[in-house]
Amino acid sequence: MQMVLPPVVVPMEATITLPESLLSVINVRKPDLDRFIRRVLAVGLYREGRLSLGKAAEVAGARNTWEMILLLDEKGVPVDYSGEDAEADLETLRKHLGR
């Protein structure tokens, strides 16, 4: 039997230049700026329909899709998550838990 490995995620870096005054305007500390920008980007692209829920979670650095759902709710963004999606997630959990 051949073992299938998950794809390797290679981080991509992008450099942007922002005015120093932005930190005080958005009330974010410099060490937290990367996380803040990733979350804003993920929420915005999900809102526009350009990212799936899973991909938005990856971009935002969320631990899982449920954490992303909470972030979207916090930002007032409706989640496109159907009953079928919930059933599929439940089935995945059952497989992993052996139930």
Higher pLDDT, 98 or 23: 23
What 3-state DSSP class applies to 99? coil
Single-letter code of the amino acid located at 80: D
Model confidence pLDDT, tens digit, residues 21-34:
998 999 999 999 99
* DSSP percent split of the chain into helix, strand, coil, nearest 5: 55, 0, 45
The pLDDT confidence band at residue 61, using thresholds 50, 70 and 90, is very high
Higher pLDDT, 58 or 84: 58
User: What's the average model confidence in pLDDT over 69-93?
Assistant: 88
User: What's the average model confidence in pLDDT over 61-78?
Assistant: 94
Per-residue confidence (pLDDT) for residue 1, from 0 to 100: 61
Per-residue confidence (pLDDT) for residue 59, from 0 to 100: 96
Residue 58 burial class via C-beta count within 10 angstroms: exposed 0-12, middle 13-18, buried 19 and up: middle
Higher pLDDT, 88 or 63: 63
pTM of the model: 0.74
